[in-house]
Structure 1
């Protein structure tokens, strides 16, 4: 069965089994409803950060604990390598290091 032009266009004609058309956009035609109460909260009155800081702490801990074994060992090894190099450089440029490994500049 093909819809009539009134149904396709959203016009206000008598259509359907009982001769009623619901209406166009936003106008559903029927009786006004009474006794129905609905409550809502405006978007500007909502708390968009409700629980965000609590969730951020636990999410950060979860992500940190899952990645720490991939990141920490190379950082620790790099720290000890740089620390050894700095101490070795200080020793080689000290009086004792020059006396042990250096040559006379005469």
Structure 2
């Protein structure tokens, strides 16, 4: 085989030989497919955000509702504990609290 013939043929085997039906890499020149239809839509006819805002509201609510039971009860318990601790600290550092618990220290 001459080197010029390799350059002309793309360096691969002939189409249809050795299981190579679609041509070399990047050069798909095989037999035409029959019975396959492809359709396209113009870019200015597409609606990429169709229903996005409506779905965002309901999807956000669904995700929030399914996860709220994991973080809301611990958050409520923590809020109650901090509120109780702050009120208890204020009482113990007040005049009445110091008089009541003066002997225990």
TM-score norm. by structure 1 comes to 0.55
Q: Could you tell me how far 1:71 is from its partner in structure 2?
A: 1.5
Do the aligned partners of residues 102 and 46 (structure 1) sit closer, same or farther apart at CA in structure 2, a change above 3 Å counting?
A: farther
The aligned length equals 76
Deviates more, 1:80-89 or 1:46-55: 46-55
Q: TM-score, structure 2 length as denominator?
A: 0.55
Q: Deviations for 1:53-75, whole angstroms, at most 9, x for unmatched residues?
A: 21111111111111222221111
Number of the residue aligned with 1:18: none
What residue is the counterpart of 1:81 in the other structure?
81
Q: Post-superposition shift, 1:5?
A: 3.3
Unpaired runs of 5+ residues, structure 2, are 1-12, 33-38
Q: Do the aligned partners of residues 5 and 87 (structure 1) sit closer, same or farther apart at CA in structure 2, a change above 3 Å counting?
A: same
Q: Distance in 2 between matches of 1:69 and 1:9?
A: 56
* CA positional deviation for 1:76: 0.6
- Residues 97 and 9 (structure 1 numbering): CA distance in 2 closer, same or farther, change over 3 Å? closer
RMSD over equivalenced CA pairs, Å: 3.0
Distance 2:88 2:15 in 1: 92
Relative distance call for 1:91 and 1:41 in structure 2 (3 A) is same
